[in-house]
Amino acid sequence: MLLRFVSRMLLCLLLLTGCSSADTDDPARADGLATVQEARLPAEARRTLELIDRGGPFPYAEDGTVFGNFERLLPAHQRGYYHEYTVPTPGSHDRGARRIVTGRGGEIYYTDDHYDSFRAVLR
């Protein structure tokens, strides 16, 4: 009986304090994607976000091109909604696997495995 009372009180306390999953990295979101705070991204990703915010110039010709979302891991939108940007990978002799993908609605996604998975970036 006491255990049931304590567990109910804890549940009420959590509900009343507005416990939010956005306060930690990688909670599941309603769209099924994990999240990451911008401050926890690699330094190269944060620099890429600064370039995006300024509108460039970008170091790679492919930066800013349309991302097709062929993997269908991001929410579905018409072609042209998403654009991708290279996040340099130290030691890589090519563009590497890391990317930032932005949406027209202001969404930002990060992948470090060449589109096998994404995390929504929380700013």
Domains and CATH numbers, the chain: 23-122 (3.10.450.30)
- Residue 84 annotated among the catalytic residues of the structure: yes
Catalytic hit among 71, 84, 93, 107: 84
3-state secondary structure of 82: strand
Q: How does pLDDT run across 81-112, given as a tens digit for each residue?
A: 999 999 999 999 999 999 999 999 999 999 99
Percent of residues, the chain, with pLDDT higher than 90: 72
The answer to whether 87 and 28 are in contact (CB under 8 A) is no
Going by C-alpha positions, the residue among 37, 43, 42 that lies closest to residue 23 is 37
Quick one: which H or E segment has residue 66? strand 65-67
Q: Model confidence at 28, in pLDDT bands (50, 70, 90)?
A: low
Quick one: pLDDT at residue 34? 95
CB count within 10 Å of CB 122 equals 16
Quick one: pLDDT at residue 97? 96
Catalytic hit among 62, 71, 77, 114: 114
Phi, psi (deg, nearest 5) at residue 104: -60, -25
Quick one: which H or E segment has residue 103? strand 99-103
CA–CA separation, 9 and 22 (whole Å): 23
- The β-bridge partners of 65 are 84
Q: What is the mean pLDDT of residues 19-40?
A: 68
Q: How does pLDDT run across 55-66, given as a tens digit for each residue?
A: 999 999 999 999
Q: Is the pLDDT of residue 39 over 90?
A: yes
Residues 6+ apart with CB under 8 A from 122: 22, 35, 36, 37, 38
